[in-house]
Amino acid sequence: MNEIKPPLDPHPLSEYVAWAGNRNREPLLGVLKEKLPKDPSNVLEIASGSGMHINYFAPHFEHLHFHPSDKDEEVFDNIKKLSIHHENDNIADPVHLDLTNPETWFNVGVQKSFSAIFCINIFQVAPISIADGMMECAANLLDDDGFLLIYGPFQMEGTFTTDSNKEFHETLSSAGVSEWGLKDVADLKKAAANHGLELKEQIDMPANNFSLIFGRK
């Protein structure tokens, strides 16, 4: 693994995103091994980006069918190339899903057709307003016992949990993009409550990140 940290660049095909993905994929795999269903079912990734995570996870769950999605259709070729390279036959073709456009939410499947949905490292480079769309989308697509996993660094009730997270927030904010910065878990919980979901579990992860597990009330 390359330990030299590239310059901050949130583009899904950037060296920075690849570096971050290589650091977090193994801890995330551990959480998924504990949480994903043991019986055949469908799993959706929101904002798949390059496809690095879904292609790393899929071989460990041959009984599950994974569905990548993204707002940016320019990344679809890369997702497909990785799936072919890794010979992952349990990954569907990527589908356009825009959390701000409900008309796209069912491109991936019908209502209650997924046992799990996951989204990795999106909120620090996206507006908190997408939380409402994400929760409503999940409420529509998850089956009754399904869960939504959101991974990344967050504030807790207006407080940074570590000095390094505060520094990361300041670095993001200094880029001059208004929606960049660590969001607050409290805002995710509010959005979830609006759509019949609640935070079921908060898992501490390496490098001061969290895995947030949401499910139906």
pLDDT digits (tens, 9 = 90+) for 102-128: 999 999 999 999 999 999 999 999 999
Q: Is the pLDDT of residue 2 over 80?
A: no
**What CATH class is the domain 42-162+183-216?**
alpha beta
Residue 4 buriedness (CB in 10 A; 0-12 / 13-18 / 19+): exposed
Compute the distance between CA of residue 80 and CA of residue 93 in angstroms, rounded to an integer.
Answer: 7
Q: What's 57's DSSP letter?
A: H
- The contacts of residue 4 (CB under 8 Å, 6+ apart) are none
Q: Using 50, 70 and 90 to split pLDDT, how confident is the model at 3?
A: low
The per-residue pLDDT for 18 is 83
pLDDT of residue 158 exceeding 60: yes
pLDDT number for residue 17: 84
Provide the whole-model pTM. 0.94
The mean-pLDDT minimum among 17-26, 158-167, 206-215 falls in: 17-26
Q: pLDDT by residue (tens digit) across 126-145?
A: 999 999 999 999 999 999 99
CA dist list (Å): 152 to 30, 35, 93, 143, 203: 15, 17, 25, 24, 11
